[in-house]
Structure 1
Amino acid sequence: MKALFKVLLAATALLAFSQVQAADAAVPKYDDPYKMMEVLADKTFQRIARQQADIKKDPEILRTIVTEELVPYIDSRYAAGYVIGNAVKLNTVPKEDFNTFVGAFQNYMVGTYAGVFTQYRDQQVMIEPGQPIEAQKKIITIKTRVIDPGKPDIKIEFKLRRVKGATNWLVFDMVAEGISLLDSKRSELGSLIRQQGLVSVAAQLEEKAKAPIKAPEKAKNA
């Protein structure tokens, strides 16, 4: 539990660095994933710092920040499909059911990330230097480190994929301290999906997403 909390905290702090393809044409796009990580990091953390006084009064502002700054840069459909895994055969699932699950999973993760952002205390993040990317590459890993004075560095890897025919990238997973965020969610939700179906689990995720934004609870031994 302690390790998972640390992963969630670190992954959320670094979510802003994900280079991806924006669904909204008005959102700036970058062909260089390393550059995008730097831009999103600066923009997101500066906004959190700038609105810190308001956030303390109303933590729900963090939900807005995550939605506006980060969601456009996440491949929610791919991530949701990965979490579903082999719990159900997607080719037998109605498209509307899958879309319902994607939306619910995204809303749930927004609330989760917003909650962890309440822990942000001006940590530093180091991103590995940019490297040439082969044209045929479809998936890449970008390594980063979260530096918190007085504490061990937290190493995080971002998994990104390039959609066929696109020049920019989408983030689909984060691995911190050897733990994949999507693998954790697949393990958590897989049996529920098999037993209850996508729509039922989606409804549960939507309910959880409505919970007020607050810092995640730590384990007693954390």
Structure 2
Amino acid sequence: MKKLLALCCFLFAGLLPAAMADVTAPDVLVRDVTNEVLEIVRRDKAIQSGDTQRVIELVDARVLPHFDFRRMTMLAVGRDWREASPEQQARLTEAFRTLLVRTYSNALTQYRDQVIAFLPSRFTPADTRVQIRTEVRQSGAQPIGIDYMLEKGAQGWKVFDVVVAGVSLVTNYRSSFAQEIRSSGIDGLIASLEARNRALVDEQKRS
């Protein structure tokens, strides 16, 4: 599930200029960018061979500008977010962003022959928050629904959650974050995330 979730998150990479996000419908944006990224993955021999660093560079350059990691972190932390100081909020956001990138950086290396189908999405031009529905189809397996939750702000459309087979990314982390905060406080959660990030770096260096 995590690899599939990662794949779907990273397929929505930022290949279109930010200015285009202001005028491009969110469903068109998701479709066009996904198709472009898949084409890059198909041609990139380093990604196909499992070059994790190459994927991390791709994510840093293409994905991050189109995801609202502060909002994602706020939703994952839940009501405890209000108790965190601005410095703690910044460290939480950075640690959570790094965790997602590091944990799922091998997702694109797993892509082979999956097909991304774009399902009808209902929204009006006046909407500022939309749900874009897609489906991952692969031979010998049931299709898995992927919903992108986007919000339009001053910098255009940004993803603030991804829902895989009905399971929200941010909600999936919320319970574990809440337990960590109850046990060790905000600083404890930050320390835990940063420790996990260091462990992932070490693991990827050994692979």
DSSP 3-state at the match of 2:106: helix
DSSP 3-state at the match of 1:169: strand
1:206 to 190, 194, 197: 194
1:84 and 1:144 mapped to 2: Cα distance? Answer: 27
1:180 matched to 2:168? The reply is yes
Question: Larger relative contact order (C-alpha < 8 A, sep ≥ 6)?
Answer: 1
1:122 matched to 2:113? The reply is yes
1:144 to 131, 134, 144: 134
DSSP 3-state at the match of 2:20: coil
Q: Which residue of 1 aligns with 2:31?
A: 38
Report the Cα offset of residue 129 of structure 1.
Answer: 4.2
DSSP 3-state at the match of 2:147: strand
Q: Which residue of 1 aligns with 2:4?
A: 10
C-alpha contact (below 8 Å) 2:123/2:130 kept by paired residues = no
RMSD: 2.6
2:150 and 2:47 mapped to 1: Cα distance? Answer: 33
Q: Could you list the runs of 4 or more consecutive aligned residues of structure 1 that deviate by over 6 angstroms after TM superposition? A: none
> Structure 2: 5+ residue runs without aligned partners?
none
Structure-2 change in CA distance of 1:186 and 1:57 (3 Å): closer
Q: Which residue of 2 aligns with 1:72?
A: 65
Post-superposition CA distance 1:89-123 (Å, at most 9, x none): 51x42201100100010000001221333321131
Structure-2 change in CA distance of 1:213 and 1:145 (3 Å): farther
1:168 matched to 2:156? The reply is yes
Q: Alignment length, in residue pairs?
A: 199
C-alpha contact (below 8 Å) 1:18/1:74 kept by paired residues = no
1:41 and 1:209 mapped to 2: Cα distance? Answer: 27
2:169 and 2:114 mapped to 1: Cα distance? Answer: 20
1:109 matched to 2:97? The reply is no
AA of the residue aligned to 1:201 = L
Range with bigger deviation, 92-101 or 29-38 = 29-38
1:48 matched to 2:50? The reply is no
DSSP 3-state at the match of 2:142: coil
DSSP 3-state at the match of 1:197: helix
Q: Which residue of 1 aligns with 2:90?
A: 99
1:102 and 1:66 mapped to 2: Cα distance? Answer: 16
C-alpha contact (below 8 Å) 1:44/1:69 kept by paired residues = no
> Structure 1: 5+ residue runs without aligned partners?
215-222
1:152 and 1:17 mapped to 2: Cα distance? Answer: 20
TM-score (norm 2): 0.83
1:84 and 1:132 mapped to 2: Cα distance? Answer: 28
DSSP 3-state at the match of 2:103: helix
Report the Cα offset of residue 199 of structure 1.
Answer: 3.0
Report the Cα offset of residue 48 of structure 1.
Answer: 2.4
AA of the residue aligned to 2:130 = I
Identity, in percent, stands at 24
DSSP 3-state at the match of 2:133: strand
C-alpha contact (below 8 Å) 1:66/1:113 kept by paired residues = no
Range with bigger deviation, 170-179 or 194-203 = 194-203
